Amino acid sequence: MAVRTRMKRMLKSSLQSFGMMRGPALALKPEPIQVAGRGRTALVAGGSGFIGSHLCEALLARGFRVLCVDSLISGRLRNVSGPAFAQARGQRRFRFVKHDIQEPLRLRADFVFNLASPASPPHYQAHSLLTLRTGSEGTWNLLNLAERSGARFFHASTSEVYGDPRVHPQREDYWGHVNPIGPRACYDESKRYAEALIMEFHRKRGLDTRMIRIFNTYGPRLDPDDGRVVSNYIKQALRGEPLTVYGSGRQTRSFQYVSDLVEAILRVMFTPGLEACVFNVGNPGEFTMLEAARLVQRLTGSRSALVHQPLPQDDPVRRRPDISRIQAALGWAPQVPFEKGLEETIAWFRKEEMGA
């Protein structure tokens, strides 16, 4: 009992230092959280996307019945077609629902995960109006579904809410530096609006909500054509094409492997006492674009040249998360080094995407 009390006090002190204490919660040990989902239903919006499919798989492994909702604008059915999903379908524990969350859903669940939205610049800029409606009307519809169901609500926000930051590294109490009318605004502002809407549902209606801000994530099932830096570099290197480096290549990103992200999502959703909390989730290791390109060259054995293109408008110069809040609250920290994660991702690209 004394240990448990000390853990509560440590967490309370940490959360108060960030101005986000909403009630006590227990700190967890760093090992993976064990979630018993038997007989319970989790709805994952955006469930056939890169991150969503890994989350669906993790929930199935923990015994949940999973409703995977996706419009397939950027998600892919092949992401939820592997052996684990086939087995769960046979057990009637996995159901795919093609649906655009801009329209209300007549479903019920115990836990609602909102990962729905185009997330890469080429996708959200090609579908800019849809992206804005997904973040606004779509989030509204999922919040109402959660309220009707008496469900807990999780929202995947993004480091893009910080824009091109003037504070480094970025903490959760930083309000950001965002161009509200630029070419990236459809995504940045849809996520900022969604955060505001979710907090008002918590304040006014008492809904149990949790949010994370995801920093650059990579791993198997990453769409090779989604325009993100890791997928671009790997695809170009494996095809023997020049690797495209935007700007000088000195701008930085922090890359987290998808399994680390999924573990954080589970901890945030299933830990008691985290109502209305917001956490950065990312790997604080910081790499320049040139360093990332050269690492991909080495790991693929590619002799492709590096070619420089102009830096896109409003592209952030530096990105690195301060993860001290989630470390203090949940004992979470990324476990997969960038090089190791790249090896796994390259192997998957060779087999699944390049037919090697």
Roughly how many angstroms between the first and final C-alpha of the chain, as a whole number? 56
Task: Tell which phi-psi region holds residue 17, choosing left (phi > 0), alpha (psi between -120 and 50) or beta.
Answer: alpha
**288 strand-pairing partners:** 252
In a domain, 292, yes or no: no
In a domain, 223, yes or no: no
pLDDT at 30: 38
Given a cut of 90, whether residue 233 has pLDDT beyond it is yes
In a domain, 145, yes or no: yes
In a domain, 229, yes or no: no
pLDDT at 162: 94
Give the structural domain span for 131. Answer: 2-218+256-284+317-336
Cα 37 to Cα 34, 60, 153, 261: the distances in Å are: 10, 8, 16, 19
pLDDT at 6: 40
The CATH number of residue 321's host domain is 3.40.50.720
Residues 6+ apart with CB under 8 A from 338: 255, 283, 285, 287, 295
pLDDT at 121: 86
The mean pLDDT value of the chain amounts to 90
In a domain, 131, yes or no: yes
Which residues are marked as active site? 187
In a domain, 354, yes or no: no
* Dihedrals phi, psi of 265, to nearest 5 degrees: -60, -45
Query: In 3-state terms, the chain is what percent helix, strand and coil (to 5)?
Result: 40, 15, 40
In a domain, 57, yes or no: yes
Q: What domain count does the chain have?
A: 1
Given a cut of 70, whether residue 3 has pLDDT beyond it is no
Higher pLDDT, 228 or 33: 228
Locate 304 and state its tokens.
């492709």
In a domain, 146, yes or no: yes
pLDDT tens track for 60-75 = 999 999 999 999 999 9
